[in-house]
Structure 1
């Protein structure tokens, strides 16, 4: 896992990390771009992350970017992400992906984008906004219809939640253009959606709306829904099914390893 630094298209300095598969040359690799959740006041840091290590073990380079809005770089950096869902925050991820390609790290024909919560939104928005850049997308417990955030979910139910949504995401009337479920016809690559029926932060209705829009647009989409899970899958059996499906999905587009069951009964990338 190595730190990286690059310039965004508006000259803002961006920081993040690339994790390389053990023993790789670090060049021309199948790559997963993995935007973090939050998004505001949250950051990726150097250290162990189970998803990242699993993907690296499966043969992927993993790119994590602290796009504008992330913590760790001062208040101005956080506020630079205000009302930039699908706009400059998304452009940062695009610029970082292109940087990884230009550096020779990422094989331009083998790049997917995968994230959870806000990261799920950014993944689906990424393939809608940049249809030629990624070969697939995964959205895990994500939000995909931004106007719905004004009416559903636990953020708007809080005392200052509606104000927060207006200040940091935007007024309801202007959010359709940056809602991936409303521009699904722009998506040209396979999508995998996973969500929990008891999720209050990102209600499962977001994933079902996204699925419906993708199917209407003729986009290949796979889903994994658990009625009893919330904002993330926590039961061992559900996690095993999810990660097995995830690795299989990514492998079909990028060629990485899939999950096999070891003699000890736990999944490992082989």
Structure 2
């Protein structure tokens, strides 16, 4: 929707010049004749252009990463399916550039949040996985933003309920569509996505062959109790959207992975920064010990000088090498 007719014409012209690109005007001169344009696609991190309105002339200034070749990357396609209660769930499916496009090994990649969303565009992690021959499925389960108030509200107090059912229903849809090889499916997530990965392997035996977790949420009680001071004003909303540790204790306990180590049977790869301000490291360490005592195959990578996200370049390279080897070992996929 455009409130300015002139701007609508400008975007219409830019869309013709840059088809199938996401386009954003990031700056302009005082006369609004020269516009700085940022663009990207699902196979390119993007470029910067100068657009001269009066002359309708577009010139490229730079690429964000000129080493990336779009033709070597994989397309991200929007898809949709019905959850078990009939709710329409949208998501994105990225298939590898392989001759066979059916019966593929699949990585389910639930997003963090949960009150956020996946969007169409360039995602280096998705491309990394697709390049290794995996189909990558990103689901905007109920509670995700961008689909209206009713869809957002449908996720309230469903963090371990219907939200997780939406993810499971997405995997089953892929199997029914003959896209997924039911014996080669992994789930991989960070933060709340990490919780979804742990929930998936705990309560859906046989659906996933392994899981990868980055800074995963394992206990809703400590996660809410240890909220940092700058987030305390949002606690009442957290109680409404996630659950109240006192009033909803049974529900939160029933879905927190730390209380269900007996249900996890498949290989697990966990990454955690020791300085993560939102993690209780002693609890994560105990969670891993409990799993190992139950003879679960767990590789635990704890980096002493990292916070939530691994930012050290070597740590990130090592992490993705570990992920590649772990998935190959447990899904038996060789591109």
TM-score, structure 2 as length reference: 0.73
Match of 1:77 in 2: 151
Match of 1:4 in 2: 79
What CA distance in whole angstroms lies between the structure 2 residues aligned with 1:141 and 1:206?
12
What CA distance in whole angstroms lies between the structure 2 residues aligned with 1:157 and 1:205?
23
Moved more, 93-102 or 143-152: 143-152
Match of 2:57 in 1: none
Contact 2:222 2:280 in 1 (8 A): no
Report the CA distance between 1:188 and its aligned residue.
1.4
What CA distance in whole angstroms lies between the structure 2 residues aligned with 1:78 and 1:177?
23
What CA distance in whole angstroms lies between the structure 1 residues aligned with 2:277 and 2:305?
12
Match of 1:241 in 2: 318
The SS at the match of 2:223 is helix
Match of 2:68 in 1: none
Report the CA distance between 1:207 and its aligned residue.
3.0
The SS at the match of 1:159 is helix
Match of 2:48 in 1: none
Report the CA distance between 1:205 and its aligned residue.
4.1
Match of 2:117 in 1: 43
Q: Structure 1 residues 164, 200: CA separation in 2 closer, same or farther (over 3 Å shift)? A: farther
Contact 1:30 1:256 in 2 (8 A): yes
What CA distance in whole angstroms lies between the structure 2 residues aligned with 1:206 and 1:101?
36
Match of 1:117 in 2: 191
Structure 2, unmatched stretches of 5+, are 1-75
What CA distance in whole angstroms lies between the structure 1 residues aligned with 2:185 and 2:235?
36
TM-score, structure 1 as length reference: 0.90
Report the CA distance between 1:203 and its aligned residue.
4.0
**C-alpha distance after superposition, 1:218-251 (max 9, x if no partner):** 2111111112111110110100111111111111
The SS at the match of 1:158 is helix
Question: Residues 155-174 of structure 1 correspond to what in structure 2 (within 5 A)?
Answer: 158-172=231-245, 173-174=249-250
**C-alpha distance after superposition, 1:140-169 (max 9, x if no partner):** 011111111122243x76232332331121
Q: Greater relative contact order (Cα 8 A, min sep 6): structure 1 or 2?
A: 1
Structure 1, unmatched stretches of 5+, are 258-269
Contact 1:37 1:115 in 2 (8 A): yes
The SS at the match of 1:218 is coil
Q: Structure 1 residues 206, 119: CA separation in 2 closer, same or farther (over 3 Å shift)? A: farther
Match of 1:21 in 2: 96
Aligned length: 256
Match of 2:11 in 1: none
Match of 1:152 among 213, 217, 226: 226
Match of 1:219 in 2: 296
What CA distance in whole angstroms lies between the structure 1 residues aligned with 2:281 and 2:152?
28
Q: Structure 1 residues 84, 213: CA separation in 2 closer, same or farther (over 3 Å shift)? A: farther
Match of 1:30 in 2: 105
Report the CA distance between 1:11 and its aligned residue.
0.4
Q: Structure 1 residues 194, 153: CA separation in 2 closer, same or farther (over 3 Å shift)? A: farther
The SS at the match of 1:100 is helix
The SS at the match of 1:160 is helix
Q: Which has the larger radius of gyration?
A: 2
What CA distance in whole angstroms lies between the structure 1 residues aligned with 2:313 and 2:189?
20
Moved more, 101-110 or 247-256: 247-256
What CA distance in whole angstroms lies between the structure 1 residues aligned with 2:221 and 2:286?
12
What CA distance in whole angstroms lies between the structure 2 residues aligned with 1:210 and 1:161?
28
The SS at the match of 1:76 is helix
